[in-house]
Amino acid sequence: MSDTVTVFLNDVSVQAPAGATIREVAAANGVHIPTFCYDDRLQPYASCFLCVVEVEKARGLLPACSTAVAEGMVIHTDSQKVIIAGRPLWNFFFPTMQETALLRAKLPVRRISIYRAI
């Protein structure tokens, strides 16, 4: 098994470490995917679906924060489906994002886990 895979990110061929998530590969290639429940200190929780992306041949939109890339995967982060799916979520979460950011800044990691489980 190879250590790297080739994926197509917004029509650009990129090399990615096997097992990396779509979010990680996108970030490494300068593509920002908005997240809400993702925290790099914790295992991906994949509950808000703010980070959804379109992967060709997948049944629906997939959470970029918890979906591992695979050889030949064709990923769209800014397709019409993604934009339409993300807009209501963005509007729903935006009023609480600043509050959450403040909580994260003040609470230790253990408290954040409890907070996220609620």
Residues engaged in binding ligand FES (CB under 6 A): 35-38, 46-51, 63, 65
**What's the min distance (Å) between Cβ of 61 and ligand FES?**
11
Measured from the CB atom, the residue of 7 and 51 that comes closer to ligand FES is 51
- Which two structure tokens, joined as six digits, stand for 20? 């990396």
**What's the min distance (Å) between Cβ of 45 and ligand FES?**
7
**What's the min distance (Å) between Cβ of 6 and ligand FES?**
23
Measured from the CB atom, the residue of 16 and 86 that comes closer to ligand FES is 86
- What ranges make up the beta strands (E) of the chain? 4-9, 12-17, 52-55, 62-63, 74-76
**What's the min distance (Å) between Cβ of 111 and ligand FES?**
19
Measured from the CB atom, the residue of 74 and 89 that comes closer to ligand FES is 89
> Between β-strands 74-76 and 4-9, what pairing exists: parallel, antiparallel or unpaired?
parallel
What are the CB-based long-range contacts (under 8 Å, 24+) for 58-62?
A: 61/85, 62/22
In degrees and rounded to multiples of 5, residue 4 shows phi and psi of -125, 155
Measured from the CB atom, the residue of 4 and 103 that comes closer to ligand FES is 103
**N residues, the chain:** 118
